[in-house]
């Protein structure tokens, strides 16, 4: 990284009155998480959501280890856990069933299955509790940016002004399109129908047939999803009109084609269709407009990573954008959002490509799947793949240094509880085992904890607000340089 220049986004330079510091388009999981992260730093945030009501499709998503850690870091996990079901940290990669590997270095080493509307509601409530405004039934339809801010236009013609606009408006992002950012990649090769409905035959009969079909058809399931309700996944091939929502008859037709019976399905709760397109935005930021979540990357749902990736984008961006608005961000800080997060998305896209191939029914792909299934008996292979999916293996490039530099610090034990309990306010933290370091003039942005008993094998670490290790050592001068690098000039 180049030496930072200390120019701030001073409110006083702009003569146009700003109603907001940041407008976020879209109140999905990414938008809601970003709003909450910004509010931790007192940033004036408006979230504009086109839908009047929260989503109804009760897709169960899995929150993976790193997302659970982020929730714990903000004191949210206790609120979320009762709404989900904890499952073992296993069988993520291409749905290859293996026990959880040994050596999972996390206090939260499980998968939390939770309906997407529930996690969206909880994140939105969290953002509102922290003071974010959310306006529903309002779509962003246009914007113009200048040197000092962004004028955002809504569908009803209302114009709003803010310093920054962030498009968290999903895979078909209006913000991305208006920004003219390319979204290259591969179009969908296969599409699937997914829904929840009741069935007309006994469970034992279903289980036997489904087990037999799944030996060769990975894109198929019919499994209990609550009292009397089944989740159904079938290929959409042959279901003609992509522009129309799927019908129950489409599901019956596909079930009969694969299983020879439609299991008497009836009374659907919701029905949806999704594809396996893979695309990545060329740029995550143009001037004062940024992209996060599905607006910046889309990929097949295999491995359950999209929501996790979006929430983690928001976690990475929130404190950096807040720092810019508060006026203490080093010039290069906001650029690190793209340099850190775009490669992470690229890697996720790639692992979903690989997983998609492994789901193919072609003999060659099936042979590779059998081979990988054998290899995953080696704990190291299993752990490597699991770290990819759960995002605990991420190491941002902060320059040369020990392996821990750039990685997230697990929720280690401290004299007074554990680490993540100290990160609820979204500030940096200096964890000092030497008990002689100081955060000096950065104490308004960075907390300090002296703890000679901390479960660490290094003398001191500086953590960014997202829990990544920004510095390791015991030298105050070196520490000060790194405090400047990440947290700007010290207060006078
Ligand atoms: C079948 C399936 C299973 C999945 N399972 C998992 C899983 O297990 N784990 C996982 O991590 N991910 C999973 N995903 C992916 C996950 O659902 C998405 O990645 C996630 O919803 C992305 O969140 P987001 O907030 O970025 O975008 P979205 O959830 O798409 O939210 C975007 C929001 O923006 C709003 N909006 C759009 N345009 C505008 C506009 N112009 N103005 C204002 N608002 C606008 C939309 O109404 C929406 O509320 C799955 C996806 C599918 C299809």
Please tell me the distance from the alpha carbon of residue 60 to that of residue 451, in angstroms, as a whole number.
41
Banded pLDDT at 244 (limits 50, 70, 90):
confident
Question: Ligand 1: distance of its center to the CA of 68 in Å?
Answer: 18
Q: Indicate the pLDDT class of residue 379, thresholds 50, 70 and 90.
A: very high
- The pTM (predicted TM-score) of the whole model is 0.92
Q: Does 303 contact ligand 1 (Cβ within 6 A)? A: no
50 lines ligand 1 (CB under 6 A): yes
Ranges of beta strands (E only) in 255-382 are 266-275, 278-280, 285-286, 289-291, 297-298
Tell me the chain's radius of gyration from C-alpha atoms: 24
Atom of ligand 1 at shortest distance to CA of 67? 11
- In this structure, the residue with its CA closest to atom 9 of ligand 1 is 304
Q: What are the helix and strand counts (H, E) for the chain?
A: 12, 24
Looking at residue 64, its pLDDT comes to 96
As a whole number of angstroms, the distance between CA 170 and CA 15 comes to 33
Q: Which atom of ligand 1 is nearest to the CA of 310?
A: 26
How far apart are the C-alpha atoms of 289 and 158, rounded to whole Å? 19
What is the average pLDDT across 190-215?
A: 89
Give yes or no for residue 415 having a pLDDT over 60.
Answer: yes
Q: With cut-offs at 50, 70 and 90, classify the pLDDT of residue 11.
A: very low
Which residues are within 8 A (CB) of 257 and not within 5 positions of it... i.e. 6 or more apart? Answer: 238
Question: Which range has the worst mean pLDDT, 88-102, 278-292, 293-307?
Answer: 88-102
Reference 40, options 396, 317, 306; nearest CA is: 317
Asked if residue 142 lies in contact with residue 153, where contact means CB atoms within 8 angstroms, the answer is yes
Given pLDDT bands bounded at 50, 70 and 90, which one contains residue 8?
A: very low
pLDDT beyond 70 at 470: yes
273 backbone φψ class: left, alpha, beta (φ>0; ψ -120 to 50): beta
CA atoms of 155 and 165, how far apart (whole Å): 16
- Position 16 scores a pLDDT of 57
Instruction: Convert 454-469 into a string of H (helix), E (strand) and C (coil).
Output: CCCCCCEEEECCCCEE
H/E segment holding residue 196: strand 191-198
Q: What percent of the chain has pLDDT over 70?
A: 95
Whether residue 195 has its Cβ less than 6 Å from ligand 1: no
List, in sequence order, every residue forming a beta bridge with 420; answer none if it has no partner.
none
In whole angstroms, give the CA distance from residue 424 to residue 184: 37
280's CB contacts (< 8 A; 6+ apart) are 183, 184, 185, 296, 297, 342, 345, 346, 349
Average pLDDT over residues 145-154: 96
- Token pair in block for residue 124: 């939105």
C-beta of 304 in contact with ligand 1 (< 6 A):
yes
Three-state secondary structure readout of 358-427: HCCCCHHHHHHHHHHHHHCCCHHHHHHHHHHHHCCCCECCCCCCCCCCCEECCCCEECCEEHHHHCCCCC
In the reported structure, the alpha carbon of residue 405 is separated from the centroid of ligand 1 by a whole-number distance in angstroms of 32
**DSSP annotation string for 111-132:** EEEEEHHHHHHHHHHHHHHTT-
Nearest atom within ligand 1 for CA of residue 194: 1
**Spatial distance between the Cα atoms of 149 and 18, rounded to a whole number of angstroms:** 8
Tokens of 404: 């821990």
Rounded distance from Cα 120 to ligand 1 centre (Å): 10
- DSSP class of residue 4 equals P
Strand partners for 297 = 280
Per the structure block, which two tokens stand in for 117?
């509307």
**pLDDT confidence of residue 17:** 59
Contacts of 302 (CB under 8 A, 6+ apart): 94, 95, 276, 352, 355, 356, 359
Q: Given pLDDT bands bounded at 50, 70 and 90, which one contains residue 54?
A: confident
DSSP letter at 491 equals P
Using DSSP's 3-state secondary structure scheme, residue 490 falls into: coil
* Residue of the CA atom closest to atom 52 of ligand 1: 301
170, 314, 359: residue to mutate for ligand 1 pocket, most atoms within 8 A of CB: 170
pLDDT for the residue 241: 67
Question: In a mutational test of the pocket of ligand 1, which residue from 171, 307, 309 has the highest number of ligand atoms less than 8 Å from its CB?
Answer: 307
Q: Which of 209, 257, 232, 214 is nearest to 369 (CA)?
A: 214
Residue 133, both tokens: 């405004």
Contacts of residues 120-124 at CB distance under 8 Å and 24 or more positions apart, as own/partner, are: 120/27, 120/28, 120/29, 120/32, 120/54, 120/55, 121/54, 122/76, 122/79, 122/80, 122/83, 123/29, 123/32, 123/33, 123/36, 123/311, 124/27, 124/32, 124/54
Q: Does the CB atom of residue 310 touch ligand 1 within 6 A? A: yes
Residue 5 is predicted with a pLDDT of: 34
Residues in the chain: 492
Alpha carbons 213 and 210: distance in angstroms, whole number = 5
SS3 state at 11: helix
> pLDDT above 90 covers what percent of the chain?
77
pLDDT of residue 243: 74
Any ligand 1 atom below 6 A from CB of 169: yes
Q: Measured from the CB, is residue 318 less than 6 Å from ligand 1?
A: no
Closest by CA to 69, choosing from 108, 43, 14, is: 108
């Amino acid at each position: 990284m180049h030496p930072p220049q200390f120019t701030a986004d001073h409110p006083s330079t702009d003569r146009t009155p700003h109603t907001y510091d940041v407008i976020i388009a879209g109140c999905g999981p990414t938008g809601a998480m970003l709003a909450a992260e910004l509010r931790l730093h007192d940033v004036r945030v408006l979230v504009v959501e086109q839908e009047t009501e929260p989503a109804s499709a009760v897709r169960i998503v899995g929150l993976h280890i790193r997302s659970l850690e982020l929730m714990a870091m903000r004191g949210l996990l206790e609120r979320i856990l009762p709404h989900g079901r904890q499952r073992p940290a296993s069988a993520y990669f291409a749905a290859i069933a293996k026990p959880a590997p040994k050596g999972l270095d996390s206090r939260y080493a499980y998968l939390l299955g939770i309906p997407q509307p529930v996690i969206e509601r909880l994140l939105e409530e969290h953002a509102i509790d922290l003071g974010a405004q959310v306006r529903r039934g309002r779509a962003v339809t246009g914007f113009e940016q200048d040197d000092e801010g962004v004028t955002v236009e809504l569908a009803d013609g209302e114009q709003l002004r803010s310093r920054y606009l962030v498009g968290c408006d999903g895979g078909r992002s209006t913000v991305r399109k208006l920004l003219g950012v390319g979204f290259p990649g591969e179009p969908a090769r296969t599409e699937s129908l997914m829904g929840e409905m009741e069935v007309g035959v006994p469970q034992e009969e279903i289980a036997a047939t489904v087990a037999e079909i799944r030996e060769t058809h990975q894109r198929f399931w019919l499994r209990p999803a609550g009292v009397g309700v089944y989740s159904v996944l079938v290929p959409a091939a042959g279901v003609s009109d992509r522009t129309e929502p799927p019908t129950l008859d489409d599901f019956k037709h596909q079930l009969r084609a694969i299983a020879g019976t439609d299991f008497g399905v009836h009374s659907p709760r919701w029905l949806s269709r999704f594809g396996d397109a893979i695309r990545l935005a060329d740029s995550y930021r143009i001037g004062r407009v940024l992209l996060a979540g599905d607006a910046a990357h889309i990929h097949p749902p295999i491995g359950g990573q999209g929501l996790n990736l979006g929430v983690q984008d928001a976690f990475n961006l929130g404190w950096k954008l807040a720092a810019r608005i508060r006026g203490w961000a080093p010039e290069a800080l906001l650029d690190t959002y793209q340099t850190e997060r775009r490669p992470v998305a690229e890697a996720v896209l790639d692992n979903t490509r690989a997983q998609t191939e492994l789901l193919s029914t072609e003999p060659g792909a099936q042979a590779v799947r059998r081979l990988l299934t054998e290899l995953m008996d080696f704990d190291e292979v299993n752990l490597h793949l699991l770290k990819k999916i759960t995002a605990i293996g991420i190491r941002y490039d902060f320059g040369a240094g020990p392996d821990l530099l750039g990685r997230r610090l697990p929720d280690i034990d401290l004299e007074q509880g554990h680490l993540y309990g100290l990160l609820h306010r979204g500030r940096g933290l200096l964890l000092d085992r030497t008990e002689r370091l100081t955060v000096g003039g950065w104490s308004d942005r960075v907390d300090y904890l002296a703890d000679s008993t901390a479960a660490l094998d290094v003398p001191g670490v500086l953590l960014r607000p997202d829990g990544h290790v920004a510095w390791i050592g015991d030298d105050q001068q070196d520490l000060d340089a790194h405090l400047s690098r990440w947290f700007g000039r010290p207060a006078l």
